[in-house]
Chain A
Amino acid sequence: MPNTAAPESDAPLLDVRGLEATFAGARGRLEAIRGVDLTVQSGETLGLVGESGCGKSVTMLAVMGLLPPSVRITGSIRFRGQELAGRPQQELAKLRGARIGMIFQDPMTALNPVLTIGAQIAEAIRIHDAAVSARAAAARAVEMLTLVAIPFPERRALQYPHELSGGMRQRAMIAMAMANEPDLLIADEPTTALDVTVQAQIIELLRRLQATHRMGLVLISHDLGIVAGAADRVAIMYAGRIVEQGAVEDIFDRPRHPYTRGLLASLPKIDNQAARLTAIDGAPPSLAARPSGCAFHPRCRHAAEICVARDPELRDVGGVAVACHLAEAIDAAAAAPPDQLASQPTGMA
């Protein structure tokens, strides 16, 4: 890689512009993501939030170059200033695991069942540096297991995935992803398959590693609690687009987009004794039948004519990027007491 020696210092670690991914389906083309813009800086955690099927994982798989060749990808993916989109697989393979690490959702299935933990970590090291001896790689694997706080690392390195608990396996996955000290770590729902108590430990571990290695971290999750605790910035995705992006405090304290508001409102609150939880009416649109205009308008109680007619662009509203025609009005109404908001007539433009 000739360019890694002198990355443009002012370029963000990861800069995605206008990313689109189109799947060739049986009934025509399906746009899984359409125009995603996001950036990640070194030492920053970006939380990527959205419902199942909104395109979170597809976005990151596109960044890794892991989507099947039949998927058409357009737009720009810059990693330390170098364009990744359209690069051949062999070149991407040199980046994957070396400069960009990835952690998968289910540690039960993401580890090779017939190789020991140590062998898998050692392999991740030797793939990218054939000069490392097998013995040195094995020693480094034990070191990595120590780093992710696995007790008895020498013994664990010789065990197979089925001999470890879910939390241990996810730690091993993280050790594997961290083995080459990547600049960017993509964690795709790293805690979804784990117990709540273990979730906190894994997030804590990721935060510690991110701080000590000054990595960029993309935390894909549908768990707002985890994102609120771990992320510096948050991007909310809906139906293949980012609908709101900004600093974590801004988004959680004062969500502008009706979808974000709906997500936050649907969280159960410990002091709320009401029997029913709040839900967003309706279901996310299918890829094949996306509504006209703003994809959220059929479920949005603020929707106006303009929402049906035109898809809103991401624009700056009070320091946060929001893709909503009515963001200012909704924001202003939110400052008023909540019962007034409820009585707002829909369709105020």
Chain B
Amino acid sequence: MASAAPALAAAVRPRWLTTPVVLGGLIAVFWISVALTVGWWPIHDAFLATGGRLGPPDATHWLGTDKLARDVLSRTLHGAQYSLPIGLAVIASAVAIGATLGAIAGFVGGLIDAAIMRLVDVTLSFPAILLAMAVTASIGPGLRNATIAMIIVWWPNYARLMRAQVLAVREREHVEAAIAAGASAPRVLVRHILPLCWSPILVNATMDFGQVVLQAASLSFIGLGASPPTPEWGQMISEGARNFYQWWIAFGPGMAILSVALGFNFLGDGLRDILDPRTQ
């Protein structure tokens, strides 16, 4: 009996379903449900003083209070309502822009390809956080502008990825067969090339999600993202850094960022194992 149980588990469990993937999935599900439902949770208000200032963790304030006596746990959980939508918006827009331009570059080739890819090269030649800072600073601080800045930083990755995929897939024989069947160029691209190009995009988008959340927090930390009353993670860590000996103020949002970045990275790894035939 003792030896049968692991053997059965190994037979039933798919190969990609590893501990990190399960962990990543649980973390992602946790934060997504927090972001969707935290308004109804029976927890302290994230904006109002609810006890003593700078109080250490105790039974009523599990993660203590900050210098305005707000509950850190509540603010951390509410932070998901900012970080996750920003991550989603940045990734979705970057994929939409990058994949479209990359597909056009790879499929059309020639001057258009050269123009798009030089734009990609120029963008990627700046360190990501520096470019995001420069763009946010020039169009003005704030969460919306930080989001726009991060889209500008992130789209070239997907353009490169998509172009490489299109270049590889368009050499396949079924594409030639489609052309031989009389399909027009747009039809060939949309129906016979693009459907085979998505899996690395999906894997990278999942992995990048955590990075975007981290970058949004970084921009807020240096004052280019969320502004003070907002319970945004980077902003909270910035406040925590000013009260360095009250470690719990930065601990909550710090762990939140860590878990999101780690969780989505694990999830992306698992997705790659599922979608990439080379790893099987």
Contacts and interface: CB of A to CB of B under 8 A. Distances in A.
B192 interface: yes
Interface stretch (A14-22, A110-118, A250-258, A310-318): A110-118
A64 interface: yes
A173 B177 contact: yes
Interface of A: 64, 66, 89-90, 93-98, 101-102, 104-106, 109-115, 123-124, 127-128, 173, 176-177
Contacts of B184: 90, 93, 127
A90 B186 CA distance: 12
Given A109-B173, A109-B174, A110-B173, A66 B191 contact: no
B176 A95 contact: no
Shortest Cβ-Cβ A-B pairs, 5 listed = A97-B182, A97-B181, A102-B180, A109-B173, A96-B182
B171 to A, nearest CB: 10
Given A114-B196, A115-B191, A93 B182 contact: yes
A111 B195 contact: no
Nearest to A90: B184
Given A114-B195, A115-B191, A127-B187, A66 B174 contact: no
Contacts of A97: 180-183
A104 B172 CA distance: 12
Nearest to B175: A112
Contacts, number: 68
Given A96-B180, A113-B174, 18 more contacts: A66-B179, A66-B180, A89-B185, A93-B184, A95-B182, A97-B180, A97-B181, A97-B183, A102-B177, A104-B180, A109-B174, A110-B174, A110-B177, A111-B174, A112-B178, A123-B191, A124-B181, A176-B181
Given A109-B174, A113-B196, A127 B183 contact: yes
A176 B179 CA distance: 13
A66 B176 contact: yes
Contacts of A90: 184
A104 B184 CA distance: 19
Interface in B27-51: none
A210 to B, nearest CB: 18
A106 B173 contact: yes
A118 to B, nearest CB: 15
Nearest to B192: A112
Interface in B100-115: none
Contacts of A176: 177, 181
A341 B179 CA distance: 50
Contacts of A110: 173-174, 176-177
Contacts of B192: 112
Interface string B156-178: 00000000000000001110111
Nearest to A121: B181
B176 to A, nearest CB: 7
A177 B196 CA distance: 23
Given A97-B182, A127-B182, A127-B187, A111 B177 contact: yes
Contacts of A114: 195-196
A177 B180 CA distance: 9
Contacts of B196: 113-114
A115 B175 CA distance: 12
B66 to A, nearest CB: 52
B181 A127 contact: yes
B173 A104 contact: yes
A104 B177 contact: yes
B176 A93 contact: no
A170 to B, nearest CB: 12
21 contacts: A64-B180, A66-B180, A93-B184, A96-B179, A96-B181, A98-B182, A101-B180, A101-B181, A102-B180, A104-B176, A105-B173, A110-B173, A110-B176, A110-B177, A115-B191, A115-B195, A123-B181, A123-B183, A127-B182, A127-B187, A176-B181
A105 B176 CA distance: 12
Contacts of A123: 181, 183, 191
A168 to B, nearest CB: 16
Contacts of A177: 181
A124 B182 contact: yes
A64 B177 CA distance: 11
A122 to B, nearest CB: 11
Most A CB within 10 A of own CB, among B172, B183, B196: B183
Interface in B190-207: 191-192, 195-196
B184 to A, nearest CB: 6
Contacts of A98: 182
Contacts of A173: 177
B177 A93 contact: no
Contacts of A101: 180-181
Interface in B104-134: none
A74 B181 CA distance: 24
A101 B180 CA distance: 7
A186 B192 CA distance: 22
A123 B172 CA distance: 18
A239 to B, nearest CB: 24
A102 B187 CA distance: 18
A128 B182 contact: yes
Interface in B58-117: none
The CB with the most chain A CB atoms within 10 A, among B172, B173, B192, B196, is that of B173
Contacts of B195: 112, 114-115
Nearest to A89: B185
B181 A109 contact: no
A94 B178 CA distance: 13
A112 B182 CA distance: 15
A90 B180 CA distance: 12
Nearest to B194: A114
A142 to B, nearest CB: 18
A176 to B, nearest CB: 7
